[in-house]
Structure 1
Amino acid sequence: MRLRALAPGDLGWVISRNGALYAAECNWDETYEAHVAGVLSAYVLNRDPARSNGWIAELDGERAGAIFCSPREGDVAQLRILHVEPFARGAGVGTALIDACVTFAREAGYREITLWTTVLQRAAIRLYERAGFRLTSEDPPARRFGDEIHGQFWARPL
């Protein structure tokens, strides 16, 4: 397994795979894929390489996952769009991606890193907890992505 910088075609792959995976695993509709496209568009158009980064994980030469780190506000970073392909789950891909994001945020001078997820993402939540993230707040259930979504905000100091 290796982590690498983004290359041409990776952003489209991340958008497509997130749309397909969340449709299959959570029954979310196309508005989630549009959400991911919006997040990644903002990432590219506003990217300051000293404050933002993204990685693709490869397992045996095949794309296996992705993660992004972006500024949230001031000296707070945000972990964005973590995903791990089903064939790569359990191989340490998620942990490696989260570690890269946290390390980058620390080295970029952020004092804290946050993320938003949903209660449905149990496996990811276990990875976040192991990486030192703690639940800071929860949204009441709301209609998003064609489903009732119970959002959670997590954070950890750097």
Structure 2
Amino acid sequence: MTAEREVAIRPLTRPGDLGWVAMKHGELYASELGFGTDFEAFVARVVADHHDEQGGGPQAAWIAEVDGMRAGSVFCVRADERTAKLRLLIVDPAARGLGLGSLLVSEALRFATDAGYKAMTLWTIDKLGPARHIYEKLGFELAACAPHTDYGSGLVDETWTRRL
């Protein structure tokens, strides 16, 4: 019999949280999709922009923990006055199957709704099937697709949207 795991979603506020998000994206996308350090640098810029814009409009970020260890993240940032943008959803492979991705996206949706946003948008790539499944399950619809060449060949950019 396996022990039940303790799952928690908390605001991204502790020292090490910002660096963990960039590191985990860099490591995971390198191992699963073959991305290089330019992708990790992109994530680090998104994380830094989020930190620098604290107070510049409704935005928040969360860390998922399993048994007290970081295991996932998501950001909700301002796209414009009416639209929130979901960013940097990730779940550590060791914590997959616990529902963390859905919990994180649901937390961001609640925040965006409470902040008065009328819609949420996100960007992803077609190769991220589990994340795409979460988005679809939570009411997002695929709005646009285009070839993507920044981090590798054979990728397709996807923009998803959802009314709040």
Could you state the TM-score of these two structures normalised by the residue count of structure 2?
0.92
Q: Which residue, out of 149, 152, 157, partners 1:151?
A: 157
Which sections of structure 1, spanning at least 5 residues, go unmatched? none
Which sections of structure 2, spanning at least 5 residues, go unmatched? 1-6
Q: Which residue of structure 2 aligns with residue 8 of structure 1?
A: 15
Q: Which residue of structure 2 aligns with residue 71 of structure 1?
A: 78
- Say if 1:55 and 1:97 are closer, same or farther in 2 by CA, change over 3 A: same
Verify the 8 A CA contact 1:30 1:145 in the aligned structure 2: no
CA–CA distance in structure 2, aligned partners of residues 65 and 147 of structure 1: 27
Identity %: 39
CA–CA distance in structure 1, aligned partners of residues 50 and 101 of structure 2: 20
CA–CA distance in structure 2, aligned partners of residues 91 and 142 of structure 1: 30
Q: Which residue of structure 1 aligns with residue 135 of structure 2?
A: 128
CA–CA distance in structure 2, aligned partners of residues 58 and 41 of structure 1: 21
Q: Which runs of 4+ in 1 moved over 4 A?
A: none
Q: Which residue of structure 2 aligns with residue 88 of structure 1?
A: 95
Deviation of the 1:143 alpha carbon: 1.4
Q: Which residue of structure 2 aligns with residue 102 of structure 1?
A: 109
Could you state the TM-score of these two structures normalised by the residue count of structure 1?
0.96
CA–CA distance in structure 2, aligned partners of residues 59 and 50 of structure 1: 30
- Please give the secondary structure, in 2, of the residue aligned with 1:152: strand
Give the letter aligned to residue 102 of structure 1: L
Deviation of the 1:48 alpha carbon: 2.3
Deviation of the 1:112 alpha carbon: 0.1
How many correspondences in the alignment? 157
